[in-house]
Structure 1
Amino acid sequence: MAGLVGTLCILVGFLTWALVSPVGGSPDDDYHLGSTWCPNPVEGGSCDVVVSNGEVTKIVVPETVYMSQDCWAFHPETSAACTDDLADDVYVPSYRFDDGAYPPGYYRFHHTLVGPDVHRSVVMMRFANVILGLGGVVAVGALSAPRARQNLILATVAAWVPMGVYFVASNNPSSWAISGVLIYGGALVSAAGSSHWRRWTLLAFAVMGAGMAMMSRPDAAFYLLIVTLALWLLVPFRKNLMPEVILSGIATGLGLLVLLSSTQADNLTGDGGWPVDLNASTLEVLVDNIASLPAYAASLWGLGMGPGWLDVPLTGWATLVMVIVFGALLFAGAHDISWRNGFAAMVVFGALYGIPVVSMTLRHVAPVTYYQGRYMLPLLAFALLVWVQPGTKKPLGLSLGQTIGIAGIASVANASALATTILRFASGVTSDGMSSAAGEPWWPWAIGPRVVWIVGALCMTVGIFVLMTLVAHQSNLVTDTLVELSGSTESTRKGRNEGNHSGRRVGHAATPAHAGHIEAADAGVRQTDDLLPADDTDAGGNQ
C-alpha cells in the first residue's frame, strides 16, 4: 500500500510539470509540434503543404503550433500571456517540420492525439509521455529484486530531478529518449538476475524501452549501443543469458540502422549554429572544452540551461544541490568496485562527457557548454545505475538518515525548479528567478498557480520520501538477513571441522532442513550480488 501511495504521488508530481508551461514550452517545440501535426512523410495527406519546384517546402498548421513561443522565448521577463492572442482555427505555413532528421515513431504516435483544441492536445501528449516513461521505470523497479530496485530509484532521482522530470513531462522527443534508455538498461540489468515470469516481463519492458529510444531521436538510438556494451561488461556471460544477449544485440543493430537512416548521421561534425573559432588550433579547442566540462556537467541539471527555451533561470537550490547528491552517490558507489562495473561505468561516463567534447572540438567550437545537456541526459541515470552495482558482494547500503537526506534535497530541488518555471511562464521572472510581473499574467487553469505548485511540490516530496525509505528498508532487510545467514553458514562449516563424530553433540552436522536453508541463503547472496542464474536461488528447487 505504501508503495502504491508513493507511486501515485510521484505521478501527480510529474503531471503537474506537464501543466505549467504553455504550448511550445520546451526547446524547438515549433519544430516538434509541427512534425506531430504533420508527421513524415508530409506528402501522405496528414495536413496541407506548400509545394515549390515539386518539393514540399512548408506545412500548414494552426498558428498556436508554429508561433506560440515567438513572443516570449529567450525573454524570461515576459510571461506567456501573448499566446492567448493566437487562434487554433487560424492556419499558417511553417518551414519547421521533420523531413527525415528524426525517426517517425514518436511523431506518429502523438499525431493520434491531435485534436481541434491545440492546448488540450499538447497536454494530453505530455500526460501520455509521463504515463509511458514513469510507468515503465516504476514497472521495472517493481519487478526487480530489492537491491536492484533501490539502485534504480537512487539513479532515477539523482539524475532526473529537475531536468529529467521536466523533459519527460514535455512534448520534446527527449522525453522518450530519457525514459526509454533507462527502461531498456534497467530492465536488462534486473532481468539478468531474475527468473521465470519476472525475467520475461523485464525483457518485454527492455523491448519497450529500446523501442521508445529508437522512435524518439537518432542519438538515443545510438545510446542503445553504449548501454549494451556496458551491460556486456557488467554482467558475466552465461549460457542461460542468451535471451538477454540476443535481445540487446538486436536492439543495438536496429538502433544503428535508425541512426544511419536519419539525416542526423553526420551530426558529430555538422553545423549546429554555434560560433566557430577557426583561428584556434584543434588542441587549443580541445583544452578549452575539457576545461569547461564541470560547467557542462552542471548543465545536465539545468544550471545555465533551464526549462523553456533554456530561458528559465534555475537557482543553485534546484541544480547544484542535485550535483552534490549525484557526486555523493558516486563516492558511495566507489566503496566496492570490480573491474566489471569499473569498465562498464567508464564506457557510459566516457560517452556522457566524451561525445560532447569530441563533437564540439571537431566543429572548432568552445566551450563545450554550447552542447545542450538534454542531448546526453538519457545516459545520466544509467551511468549512475551501473556505478552503484555491487562489485565484490558488497552492495550499496544507505542508512535511514542518508536516505532521508537524499530525498529531502531532491524534494527541495524539485519544488524550487517547479516554482521558478511556473513564475517564468505565469508572470515572467528576473535573472534571480523572482517574479517580474512586467506584463499580463498567463494561466489557463481554474486552480491558481500557487495551488498547483503546492500540490505538485508536496506530492513529489511525499512520493520521493515514501518510495526511497520503503525501498531502502527492503534492501537493508534483505542485506541483514543474508549477512546473518551467511554467518550461520560459516559457523556450521566451522562446527563440521571441529567435531564430526557419530554423537553429533559438539560439532554435529546440520540437519537436512538447516542445510537446505543455508544453501538457499548462500545461493541468494550469489544471485543478488553476482547476478548468477536464478535457478540457483533455492537449493531445494523452490522459488
Structure 2
Amino acid sequence: MALAAWAFSSPVAATPDEDFHLASTWCGLGERAGLCEDPQDGTTGRLVPAAIPPATCYAFHPDESAACWDPDQTGLTRVDRANADGLYPKVFYAVMSVFASPNVAASVMAMRLFNAAFAVGLLTVVFWALPRWMRPALFVSVAATSVPLGVFVLASINPSSWAILSSATVWITLYAATRTEGRRRLLLAGLAVLGGLIGAGARADSAVYAAFAVVLALVLGARFGRQHVVPLIAGAVIMVLSAAFYLSASQGGAVVSGLGGGSAGLSRDQIALNFLEVPSLWAGALGGWALGWIDTDLPATVRVLAIAVFAGALFVGLRRVSLRRGIAIGLAFAAIWLVPFLLLYQSRTVVGDLVQPRYILPLMVMLVGVASLRPDAALAWRGARLWLGGLALTIAYGVALHTNTQRYTTGVDQFSFDPGAGAEWWWSLAPSPLVTWIMGTIAFAGLFVSAHFLLPREQAEQDPSLPVRYEAAPEAEHA
C-alpha cells in the first residue's frame, strides 16, 4: 500500500527519461501489431501508441498540473528512442511489456503495481530466508534509504527500481549462504542469483553493482572448505550474468567513457570541487534533489529527517566491527564516493549535471546494509531507536508523498492540506488524492510497527564465522 500510493501519486511519464522507458517497454517483447511496429525506414525508430508522449508537456514546469496530457489519444506515433539499439539490457522491459496494451494509462498503472508487489514479495522472501541475526540488516538497509527517491522509483516503470532491489538482496543472500547449510543455503544462493539477474537485466551499471555485491559477500563470508562450494558457484553465476548483460548493452560504455553531453574538459579546480561535492548526490537520494524530471522540489523537512536516519543507521552499525566487516564497509564507502566522482570525470561534467542520485542509490543501500550487519543488531534497533527512526521516516514519507501528489494535481503554485483540492488531474478509477496520501502514510508507518513484532525480541547474537545450523539462544549456540 505504501508503494501503491506512490504509484498513484504521479501521471504517466513522471520519472526521468520515462518517454524512453515507456517506448522501450511497449517494444520489450519485439514487434507487436498495435503496440510496437517497425516504420520500415531502416532506422531504429518505432511506432507506439500515440498516448505515449515523446516528451511530457508538464516536465520542467512544476507550476503546471498533469492535465495537459491526453490519455485518450488513439493510433500510433513514431518515437526515435525505444531501446531498439540495445542501449539497455532487455530483461526489465520484456517483463514489463507483458502488461502493455493500447490503453497506456491502465498499462502503466498495472506495471507500477506489479513492480511494487514484486519488490515487497522478493524482500519478504529474503527476510524469512535469512538467519534471524541478519534480518535487521536487510530491514535497515531498505528503510533507511527508501525516502523519498527509493519509494518513488520502486513503484515506477524505471529500470532503476530493479537496480535498487538487486542491491538490497544480492550481497546479503550470498553472504548468508556462506553461513548456513542444507536447503536454506540452496534457497539463499538461488535468491542471490535471482537478485543478480534482475539487476544485471535492468541496467548496465546495475550489472557492475551486482558484481560488486558478490565481492562484498565474499569478503564477509568466503572461506576455504567444501561447505562454501554452493555460495561460490552462485557468486560465479552472478559474475557471468553481470558480464554478459553488461557487454550486451551499449549503455555499459558509460562506465568507461562517461555519459554524453559533457564539456570539452574539466579544470583542476572543477575536478577538486567535484570530489568535495559528491556527498550532495547522496543527499539528493534522500530529498536533497527534486523528484520527477528533477523538477519537483521537496520541503526541507524531508531531507533533514531522511539524512538524519541514514547517518544514524551508519553510526549505529559501526560497533564491534570485525576485520572482514571493516574491509567491506570501507569498500562500500569508497564506492559511493569514487564511482560518481569517476563517472563525473569521464563525463567531463560537474555535480548537478548528467549524473543523478538514482545511479548512486544502490551503492548507498549496500553501504547501510553492510554497516548494519552487527551481530546484536536486533537489540540495537529495538525500542526508542526503531520508533524514533520510524517516526522521522514516516513524516518525511508523508510530506514527500503530499508534495509529489499536489505537484501533478494542481501544480506546486498551490498548497492545501488536501492534495486533491481543486485537482485538475487524477486517475479516473483511483481513490481520491487525500485518501491515497493518508492510507499510504499509514501503511508506511505500519512497516515499523511490523518490524517491532517481526525483528528478534532478544539478542540473537551468533559468531558470524560459524555456520548457522539452527536458531538458538546465544548460550545454546556456544554450548
After TM superposition, the score normalised by the length of structure 1 is 0.81
Match of 1:397 in 2: 380
Q: Give the C-alpha shift of residue 204 in structure 1.
A: 2.0
Distance 1:260 1:118 in 2: 32
Distance 2:353 2:71 in 1: 34
Match of 2:209 in 1: 223
Distance 1:56 1:234 in 2: 48
2:165 to 172, 179, 184: 179
1:137 to 109, 120, 123: 123
1:534 to 461, 468, 471: 468
Of stretches 224-233 and 296-305 in structure 1, the one that deviates more from structure 2 is: 296-305
Quick one: which amino acid aligns to residue 232 of structure 2?
Answer: V
Structure 1 position 31 matched with structure 2 position 20: yes
Q: State the SS of the aligned residue for 1:408.
A: helix
Alignment of 1:119-268 (within 5 A): 119-239=105-225, 240-268=227-255
Q: State the SS of the aligned residue for 2:28.
A: coil
Change (3 A) 1:215 1:182: same
Quick one: which amino acid aligns to residue 171 of structure 1?
Answer: I
Structure 1 position 16 matched with structure 2 position 16: no
Distance 2:258 2:218 in 1: 34
Unaligned runs of 5+ in 1: 1-11, 480-524
Change (3 A) 1:460 1:163: same
1:157-187 deviation line (CA, Å, top 9, x unaligned): 0011221111010010111111122122222
Change (3 A) 1:333 1:322: same
Distance 1:376 1:205 in 2: 23
1:392-432 deviation line (CA, Å, top 9, x unaligned): x8876234011100111111111111111100111111499
1:470 to 453, 465, 473: 453
Structure 2 contact 148–397 (Cα < 8 Å) conserved: yes
Match of 1:492 in 2: none
Change (3 A) 1:424 1:96: same
Q: Give the C-alpha shift of residue 253 in structure 1.
A: 2.2
Q: Give the C-alpha shift of residue 199 in structure 1.
A: 2.4
Q: State the SS of the aligned residue for 1:25.
A: coil
Change (3 A) 1:396 1:253: farther
Greater C-alpha radius of gyration: 1
Q: State the SS of the aligned residue for 1:302.
A: helix
Structure 1 position 321 matched with structure 2 position 321: no
Structure 1 contact 289–368 (Cα < 8 Å) conserved: no
1:426-457 deviation line (CA, Å, top 9, x unaligned): 11114999999999710124532111111111
Structure 1 position 292 matched with structure 2 position 266: no
Q: State the SS of the aligned residue for 1:530.
A: coil
Of stretches 261-270 and 347-356 in structure 1, the one that deviates more from structure 2 is: 261-270
Structure 1 contact 48–59 (Cα < 8 Å) conserved: yes
Distance 1:77 1:135 in 2: 37
Quick one: which amino acid aligns to residue 259 of structure 2?
Answer: G
Match of 1:498 in 2: none
1:338-378 deviation line (CA, Å, top 9, x unaligned): 22111112222222221110111233312366410111212
Distance 1:396 1:540 in 2: 18
Q: State the SS of the aligned residue for 2:288.
A: coil
Match of 1:361 in 2: 345
Distance 2:382 2:129 in 1: 23
Structure 1 position 414 matched with structure 2 position 403: no
Change (3 A) 1:270 1:88: farther
Q: State the SS of the aligned residue for 1:160.
A: coil
Change (3 A) 1:339 1:394: farther
Q: Give the C-alpha shift of residue 529 in structure 1.
A: 3.4
Distance 2:433 2:162 in 1: 27
After TM superposition, the score normalised by the length of structure 2 is 0.91
Match of 1:486 in 2: none
TM-align CA RMSD:
2.8
1:90 to 75, 84, 91: 75
Match of 1:517 in 2: none
1:61 to 35, 42, 48: 48
Match of 1:443 in 2: 426
Distance 1:430 1:291 in 2: 34
Match of 1:482 in 2: none
Of stretches 368-377 and 416-425 in structure 1, the one that deviates more from structure 2 is: 368-377
Q: Give the C-alpha shift of residue 277 in structure 1.
A: 5.8
Structure 1 position 427 matched with structure 2 position 410: yes
Q: State the SS of the aligned residue for 1:353.
A: helix
Quick one: which amino acid aligns to residue 21 of structure 1?
Answer: S
Structure 2 contact 378–458 (Cα < 8 Å) conserved: no
Structure 1 position 48 matched with structure 2 position 43: no
Q: Give the C-alpha shift of residue 321 in structure 1.
A: 1.1
Match of 1:6 in 2: none
Distance 1:344 1:431 in 2: 47
User: Percent identical across equivalent pairs?
Assistant: 28
Distance 1:394 1:443 in 2: 43
Alignment of 1:92-107 (within 5 A): 92-98=77-83, 99-107=85-93
Unaligned runs of 5+ in 2: none
1:508-529 deviation line (CA, Å, top 9, x unaligned): xxxxxxxxxxxxxxxxx5xx33
Aligned residues: 472
1:169-225 deviation line (CA, Å, top 9, x unaligned): 001011111112212222223333333332222222212211111211111111111
Quick one: which amino acid aligns to residue 320 of structure 1?
Answer: V
Structure 1 position 378 matched with structure 2 position 362: yes
Quick one: which amino acid aligns to residue 421 of structure 1?
Answer: N
Structure 1 position 333 matched with structure 2 position 294: no
Structure 2 contact 5–436 (Cα < 8 Å) conserved: yes
